Amino acid sequence: MSIAVLEKVVEEIVRSLEDDDGAEEAFLFGIMPRGDYHLESDIDVLVVSRKMDKTRSRTQEIGAALSLEYGVVVSVIVVDEDS
């Protein structure tokens, strides 16, 4: 996967979370931020939310759509801000 694809996917996730009043923070984790990814690597995102159900539903839809659009697995994990 190219840096351009990674940046585009992350940009789309951030844009979608801006419309989610429950989402507090998002973090890229796993192999991507370490920099040792390869063409078949997935993108792992952790989202901290005040409204778990709403945010989880939204991010699952977006992760699936981005996976199909860019041909990369996008895994989004949503956790409660109180966890």
Q: Give the tens place of pLDDT for each residue, 10-50.
A: 888 888 888 777 888 889 898 777 777 777 778 899 999 98
pTM value?
0.81
Domain count, the chain: 1
Classify strands 23-29 and 74-80 as parallel, antiparallel or unpaired. unpaired
Domain that holds residue 16: 3-80
Residue 1 DSSP class: -
Q: What is the CATH number of the domain that holds 18?
A: 3.30.460.10
* Burial (0-12, 13-18, 19+ Cβ within 10 Å), 18: exposed
Instruction: Give me the pLDDT at residue 53, please.
Output: 83
The contacts of residue 76 (CB under 8 Å, 6+ apart) are: 13, 45, 46, 47, 59, 60, 62, 63
User: CA-to-CA distance for 4 and 22, rounded, in angstroms?
Assistant: 28
